[in-house]
Amino acid sequence: MEQRRIALLGNPNTGKSTVFNRLTGLQQHTGNWSGKTVGQAVGTVLYGDKTAKLYDLPGIYSLFAERAEECCAKQFLCFGKADTVLVVADATNLERNLPLVLQVAALQEHTLLCLNLTDEAEKKGIYVDRKRLEERLGIPVIEAAARAGKGIGKIKESLFEGHTHSRGKTEFSQLWQDCPQTLAYLTEGCEALLGKARTTPFCLTMVLEEDPAFFGGLAQEEGWDTYRLMELSARAEGARKLLEAEGSDLRTFQEKKTIFFLQMAENITRETVQIKQEKEDLTERLDRAVLSKGFGILLMLALLGGIFWLTAVGANYPSALLRVFFDQVGEGLGDVLSVLPPSLYSLCMDGIFLTVSWVVSVMLPPMLIFFPLFTLLEDFGLLPRIAFQADGVFRKAGANGKQALTMCMGFGCNAVGVTACRIIASPTQRLIAMLTNCFVPCNGRFGLLILLCTVFLSNGSSVGAGFCLLALVASAVGMTLAVSFLLHRLLGGQEDSGFILELPPYRRPQIAAVIVRSVLDRTVFVLMRAVAVAVPAGIFIWLMQRVHVQGVSLMQLLVNFLDPLGALMGMSGAILAAFLLGMPANEIVLPILLMYYSQSGVLTETQTTAELANILTLQGWTFSTALCTALFSLNHFPCATTLLTIWKESKSKFFTAVAFCLPTAVGILLCIVIHALFGAG
């Protein structure tokens, strides 16, 4: 027997992904804001000895819009890919959800409604008459509170054993009342071309509008040739002419259609929903502070600043512990590998193992702190509000507020920031956000920046260093905006393409789930990519030190080669070489530099800041060197992990190359100018 196929559909923020996870047991990332489900998640639902495939479709409000998400969902439903559609609706806001439910019920033969978030609705004093709703819609309705796992069993039961499924009672045909001739003409044509079973009011609408998703689907899924498609197009055109003859036109028809569903939703809501107490809810009260102009901004900056500070400070301890752990592992591994010839042993231990363990121990702890905290904000519902507050500034750069969010994630890790750019709908704006993400320093660069601020750029006081760091971060944000603005002009984006954000109610974050998700989705993902690049990089760095040409090591050759450029930029060949070799992870730039300075041949760290200051001063570092190094750290090629991510996300070698060259060029120019201005002194 063929496996049943179930499609999961619903508005954004209805807990659709939570329902998906509960039904399949698969941990898919859920978020308290729209635009999260990108691509298509598929899971398996088990019920006794039966199984079914569950397809998570993107969160949408209507089947009639023409964005990629809606088209994807519509095609999936139209071309029989699903036996049953499970629509998830938010019980606290039923009216908003009903148009989609009604549309699906009109299109699909087997529809099931999951009325989710009933626990929240109850808290707000909102009661939905399930029985009455079932009658009005003509489809089964199941109450659920997916976060608590309530109702999931019933949904399964209904999915596998329900025999009552039938097409919903959406009286779509009313829409055609004023244009009987058009309807007759279109029906005749569709019955001939599409077959009788397909000729439903919903389908007729799509033909009349020459819906690109529907026509595209006919070609892709059912192999229609151009001739057949043109025949259907001709019918549609004829029908539109008739429509005009009957005193209407396509625009009016579409508007009527939208209003038809909205009105039906309103009527049904009036009959089925009772609001027992209307009190000002928490969301309203919180929003008054969070969305206010002055205090709201301060609050958000303080929150984000607090997270960065906790990450930078808090990561030191687990990092040190990890180093101790890896030292022990290294000793054990060394014993085992001691059977190898000395050079191979050194390659494995000093090259691969040291680099990989270094990257893991400096990268893992900050990510383990940053991402769970950030995900908590996301779960709470704060991210769309941050996007709103930032939109005014980002609009001026041709971007939108969502880029503020991807930028914030870039502070944690640029590779994650680049992946997060998926939330930006416009392809041009998304590309710009990806290309500019590495202009903000990730955790890996903060270590070096803090050091430079403390030792060289401030007068030694921690307050001074703090202000220095703040100035650097502000300049990074400014640079992001400036480059975004220029790219926007260059790529010819529209002036103001419009931007819609839904602000969901605040919800209590699910702390345990947050930790699991952020670790699985973000941390492990980045770490695996980082290790993948650290292995070859470890070998490379090792070879650079050991291979000599005419008595000079490759490393020294590279340093000599880069020296003129380094001098021009107010740094040195050694610093530039460290940045280049630090490609696998920004965290190892400083250790590589120290390795070179001390000629130790392995990645090196020093115990105290004072020692470090001493070494660097001995190597001729001045205020100007530190300033140029800090600026180049902010503005240079992204790390290998980020580049790999940009390549995977943009699927374009060209733009990956741009992502490499653009910040590098900015950094080189900036350093040359700064050095020319301040370097002489």
Partner 1 sequence: MELQTLEKARLGGQYRIKRITERRLQELGLCEDAQITVLYECPFGGMRVYRIKSTRIAFRNRQAEKIWVQEVAG
For partner 1, the binding residues (CB under 8 A) are 61-62, 64-65, 92-93, 95-96, 99, 254-255, 258-259, 262-263, 283, 287, 291-293, 297, 384, 388-393, 395-396, 401, 496, 498-503
Closer of 11 and 545 to partner 1 (Cβ): 11
Shortest CB 99 distance to partner 1, Å: 8
- CB atoms under 10 Å from CB of 286, counted, come to 16
CA distance 5 to 1: 12
Shortest CB 157 distance to partner 1, Å: 31
Closer of 384 and 584 to partner 1 (Cβ): 384
Shortest CB 647 distance to partner 1, Å: 32
328: buried, middle or exposed (CB in 10 Å: 19+, 13-18, 0-12)?
Answer: exposed
Closer of 163 and 293 to partner 1 (Cβ): 293
Shortest CB 509 distance to partner 1, Å: 19
Closer of 176 and 499 to partner 1 (Cβ): 499
CA distance 85 to 61: 15
CA distance 470 to 475: 9
DSSP per position, 336-375: HHTTS-HHHHHIIIIIIIHHHHHHHHHHHHHHHHHHHHHH
For helices 354-380 and 525-546, angle between their N-to-C axes, nearest 10 degrees:
150
Closer of 116 and 545 to partner 1 (Cβ): 116
Shortest CB 401 distance to partner 1, Å: 7
For helices 443-452 and 589-598, angle between their N-to-C axes, nearest 10 degrees:
50
Tokens at 585, concatenated: 């992870």
Shortest CB 622 distance to partner 1, Å: 39
- Tell me which residue has tokens 């027997």: 1
Which one-letter DSSP state was computed for residue 145? Answer: B
CA distance 285 to 231: 58
DSSP per position, 379-403: HHT-HHHHHHHHHHHHHHTT--THH
CA distance 8 to 56: 5
Shortest CB 356 distance to partner 1, Å: 45
- Tell me which residue has tokens 């931007």: 499
Tokens at 34, concatenated: 């729209």
Shortest CB 62 distance to partner 1, Å: 4
Closer of 258 and 652 to partner 1 (Cβ): 258
Closer of 15 and 384 to partner 1 (Cβ): 384
Closer of 150 and 395 to partner 1 (Cβ): 395
Q: Is 4 helix (H, G, I), strand (E, B) or coil?
A: strand
Closer of 126 and 588 to partner 1 (Cβ): 126
Pairing label, strands 50-56, 41-47: antiparallel
CA distance 20 to 159: 13
Contact 4, 52 (CB under 8 A): yes
Shortest CB 389 distance to partner 1, Å: 6
Closer of 386 and 666 to partner 1 (Cβ): 386
Tokens at 26, concatenated: 């698969």
Shortest CB 40 distance to partner 1, Å: 22
Shortest CB 409 distance to partner 1, Å: 20
Closer of 98 and 218 to partner 1 (Cβ): 98
Closer of 2 and 496 to partner 1 (Cβ): 496
Contact 465, 446 (CB under 8 A): no
CA angle centred on 383, ends 525 and 95, rounded to 5°: 115
Shortest CB 116 distance to partner 1, Å: 16
Tell me the three-class secondary structure of 186-225, residue by residue.
Answer: HHHHHHHHHCCCCCCHHHHHHHHCCCHHHHHHHHHHHCCC
